[in-house]
């Protein structure tokens, strides 16, 4: 992969085999030779965020690793970044689609599936807020149109306008009967997100603090994570 520096890291998943991930070496990387990221609203400062391993993504991967497999269930991960949770679900045989707006996510996903000896995994371009599907299609990206039984995400509530936009996006891609999982590192917008979800008929089913949990991070080091697992259901 030219134009940016990467490293290989072993990620320990609770009660499952390790995952090998190729990721950016740090948050100073930037590579947008064709300007695709810029056109999609990904500035140089935020460009590397997709390719870093975030603690919340490990917690989400642990959660999906423990979920019973349900026949016919369709799962969507939004804002997937390195798509760790999607890869774990895919390895277990679940029907999962990974999605993000960053133009490099699919490249890293293909690389990481190969590193773990896994077959192709469905990937779609998806972005909440301003509709950029037409631009994404012009740039050659396959956009998201399906509906799902479980929508999961980690560390996506990071801007003031996100709660309303994200809830509307979830409503447009969730079946009438659906679950939503969000792992949030206490960024402060979970309350507003919950109120927006209620407007679309989703009820809070679980809100569990994760701050007391000591777990292995991606470096194999025990750490305390400050965050919350939130789930909603409809139908």
Summarize pLDDT for 159-173 with one digit per residue, the tens: 999 999 999 999 999
Q: Residue 191: CB partners within 8 Å, gap ≥ 6?
A: none
pTM of this structure? 0.94
What average pLDDT score do residues 164-185 get? 97
Average pLDDT estimate for 171-187: 96
pLDDT computed for residue 129 by the predictor: 86
Q: Which of the four pLDDT bands, split at 50, 70 and 90, describes residue 74? A: very high
Mean pLDDT of 143-157: 97
pLDDT at 186 over 60: yes
6-234 has which fold?
Answer: Rossmann fold (3.40.50)
């Amino acid at each position: 992969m030219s134009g940016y520096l990467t490293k290989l890291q072993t990620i320990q998943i609770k009660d499952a085999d390790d995952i090998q991930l190729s990721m950016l070496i740090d948050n100073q990387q930037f590579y947008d030779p064709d300007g695709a990221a810029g056109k999609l609203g990904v500035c140089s400062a935020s460009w590397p965020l997709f390719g870093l391993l975030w603690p919340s993504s490990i917690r989400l991967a642990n959660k999906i690793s423990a979920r019973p497999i349900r026949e016919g269930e369709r799962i969507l991960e939004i804002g997937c970044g390195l798509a760790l949770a999607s890869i774990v679900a895919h390895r277990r045989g679940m029907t999962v689609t990974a999605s993000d707006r960053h133009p490099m996510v699919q490249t890293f996903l293909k690389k990481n599936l190969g590193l773990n000896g896994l077959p192709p995994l469905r990937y779609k371009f998806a972005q909440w807020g301003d509709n950029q599907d037409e631009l994404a299609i012009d740039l050659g990206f396959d956009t998201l149109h399906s509906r799902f039984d479980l929508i999961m995400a980690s560390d996506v509530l990071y801007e003031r306008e996100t709660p309303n936009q994200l809830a509307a996006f979830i409503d447009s891609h969730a079946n009438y009967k659906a679950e939503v999982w969000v792992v949030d590192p206490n960024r402060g917008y979970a309350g507003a997100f919950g109120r927006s979800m209620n407007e679309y008929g989703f009820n809070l089913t679980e809100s569990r603090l994760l701050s007391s949990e000591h777990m292995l991070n991606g470096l194999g080091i025990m750490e305390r994570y400050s965050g919350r697992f939130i789930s909603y259901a409809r139908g």
